[in-house]
Amino acid sequence: MPAISFKNVSYSYVDGDESFLALEDIDLEIADGEFVCLIGHSGCGKSTLLSLLAGLSMPTAGEILIDNVPVSGPGPDRSIVFQSYSLFPWQTALKNVMFSIRQTNKDISKEQAKVRAMELLAQVGMEDAANRYPYQLSGGMRQRVAIARALGIDAPTMLLDEPFGALDPLIRGKLQELLLRLWNEGEGCCKTAVFVTHDIDEALILADRLIFMEPRHITREFILPKDRARSADAIVEDVRLRDVKREVMELFDATATGKEDC
């Protein structure tokens, strides 16, 4: 039984009399514990698909089910990390993380929430910045706090929209490792992850399955070998990954139009 299923999902952005079809008849099933990367040119509908799954907007047609229940809005079963840092500017890094912990765990004491928040900040290498406000942090640091905050919601599904796009490669690699650890943390089971990126290497490191999108549609899928190493080195060394990379790069070339919106 797939944990997530899109059934004939379409979505149009409506602005006055104008309407723009961003997704058309999407059918997609994602298994419990699967790590899926959505990849494709800018403007093909990746963020739209993710925000529908997050419940931030509703399909114009079709439906999305999570464990057979239609998505009707955001919920504590899904944590969300976007590329733009969505921290509360008036709260410190620590308070930002504590807030999300207490949102989904009403019984936890303030002291316990603080201990847990410090653990999460340490995991993203931000414990020394716990008492700083967002304006006192660099973009990369804010993004790490945002990730710690999303992780504070210990949700079975993680939705991430180009969360590492703005970070330098070293930090990016570390956060990819951290994300894989957190995805895999459960005893014998993984969380479900849907991760948007336009970086092929990132998708090859992270995903169980890579889903390639062209405007409005899913056009190709690649199942990545389960027994591979999930690392940048493996992309160079593992011939199976090199083959997928070549195919995906050809798809990128074939679908480039030179226009920003595909």
Q: Which residues bind ligand ADP (CB under 6 A)?
A: 13, 15, 20, 22, 42-48, 261
If the CB atoms of residues 43 and 125 are measured against ligand ADP, the closer one turns out to be 43
**Interhelix angle for 110-123 vs 93-104, to 10°?**
120
Q: Nearest residue by C-beta to Mg ion?
A: 47
Residue 98 CB partners (closer than 8 Å, separation 6+): 110, 113, 114, 117, 152
Question: What's the CA gap between 211 and 209, in Å, rounded?
Answer: 6
What is the rounded radius of gyration, in angstroms, for the C-alpha atoms of the chain? 19
Q: CB of residue 39 vs ligand ADP: minimum separation in angstroms? A: 9
Closer to Mg ion by CB, 79 or 197: give it: 197
Q: With contacts defined by CB under 5 A, name the span among 17-25, 40-48, 107-115, 185-193 that binds Mg ion.
A: 40-48
Which token pair is 171?
């930090």
- Minimum Å gap between C-beta 47 and Mg ion is 3
Which of 218, 194, 3 is closest to 82 using CA atoms? 194
- Using alpha carbons, select from 258, 242, 147 the residue that is nearest to residue 200: 242
Choose between 23 and 147: whose C-beta lies nearer to ligand ADP: 23
Nearest to 125 by CA among 175, 90, 87: 175
Of 19 and 131, nearer to ligand ADP (C-beta) is: 19
Binds 96, which of Mg ion, ligand ADP, none (CB < 5 to 8 A, cut-off by type)? Answer: none
Residue 44 interacts, among ligand ADP, Mg ion, none and using kind-specific CB cut-offs from 5 to 8 Å, with ligand ADP
Per CB under 5 A, contacts with Mg ion among 41-60 are: 47
As measured in angstroms, the least distance from the Cβ of 73 to ligand ADP is: 18
**Number of neighbours of residue 113 by Cβ within 10 angstroms:** 21
Cβ proximity to ligand ADP: between 50 and 137 the closer is: 50
From the list 39-47, 52-60, 114-122, 225-233, the region that binds Mg ion by CB under 5 A is: 39-47
DSSP state of 225: P
Question: Of 156 and 215, which CB lies nearer to ligand ADP in the complex structure?
Answer: 215
174 within 8 A of 126, measured Cβ to Cβ:
no
Q: Are 81 and 148 in contact (CB under 8 A)?
A: no
Residues that bind Mg ion (CB under 5 A): 47
